[in-house]
Chain A
Amino acid sequence: MAAKTAAKRVVVETPIPDFDRLIHEKTRLAIVSALAVNSTLTFNELKAILKTTDGNVSVHTRKLEEANYLSCKKSFEGRMPRTEYSLTAAGRRALQRYLDHMEALINNVRTG
């Protein structure tokens, strides 16, 4: 009972910012972070940076595209398909908000 009260008090005293769950997931956070420092990255470049599988990159980039955080350009290099991603203005704002939330969380706990 005492433990439950303590836990409740912690939540009230240190409110968790309402952060963006979409980019809170590790792989999606990495995709958005990598694209924040590169104007464009291809599918294979993202896969190498993230050290993950084709399927994983595919699933998470699609989710970010659906949220309009990424734009995607498909083309051909010879016979090979080439998919190039870039961060949209909405995606950049989302990352900035997320960084602000993390900083706020650190500051709240520090001063709480």
Chain B
Amino acid sequence: MPDALRDHAVDNLRYIRETMERASAFTSIPGWGGFVIGLTALFTTVIAEPMTAWNPRRWLAVWLLEAAVAAAIGGLTMWRKGVRAGTPFTTSAARRFFISYFAPLIAGAILTVAIVRGGTVAPLPSVWLLLYGVAFVSSGAFSIRVIPAMGVCFMLFGAAAAFVPLAVGNLLLGAAFGGLHIIFGLIIARNYGG
């Protein structure tokens, strides 16, 4: 009987904690969407690689197109996961998640324009990876636990990309946008409902 009472109290405390976590976290992160984004990024890496030497502007255009495709896949799969799970996109947790996520990405877009106007594209892989990582580290505070870890991995690739030529930076983009999205996409899909 005392064990049953203790178990009941432990269950109640766990229930409270889980409810609080669910109420304060934005959970509609699309694992399968991330997986598909990873595949498209790997494809982009392969076709962009030769352009690093003979036409960096075209290399930039290919990656910007990939960003648009990835945003479409991510947005669509996030919306579908949210609708399926009945998770609203208007909670304060969702708002905090999106503000924290988009602020570094907007900074990245502005820096991209400034860097390209300066006549170079070489720093872009590092800038993109670092700020994309920051977006996940900061927004991860309002989401599932694996998101900040993914952000840190992107930042590590970004730090490495800061000290290499564009051709290697392109490969690091592929390893991170491709490999990390595939790995973490599968983790999220398996453990967080798709």
A interface list, Cβ under 8 A from B: 7, 10, 13-14, 16, 26, 29-30, 33-42, 44-45, 48-49, 51, 99, 102-103, 105-106, 109-110, 112
Query: Do most interface residues of chain B lie in helix, strand or loop, or is the interface mixed?
Result: helix
Docked CA distance A111–B152 (Å):
43
**Closest 5 CB pairs between A and B?**
A34-B23, A109-B6, A33-B19, A37-B24, A105-B9
Contact A38 B2, beta carbon cutoff 8 Å:
no
Please list 21 pairs of residues, one from A and one from B, whose beta carbons are closer than 8 Å in the complex, sorted by A's number. A7-B1, A14-B1, A14-B5, A26-B15, A29-B15, A29-B16, A34-B19, A34-B22, A36-B20, A38-B92, A42-B90, A45-B88, A45-B90, A49-B19, A49-B23, A99-B13, A102-B9, A102-B13, A105-B5, A109-B2, A109-B5
Docked CA distance A99–B10 (Å):
10
Residue B188 CB within 8 A of the other chain: no
Query: Do most interface residues of chain A lie in helix, strand or loop, or is the interface mixed?
Result: helix
B interface list, Cβ under 8 A from A: 1-3, 5-6, 8-10, 12-13, 15-16, 19-20, 22-24, 86-88, 90-93
Docked CA distance A42–B91 (Å):
8
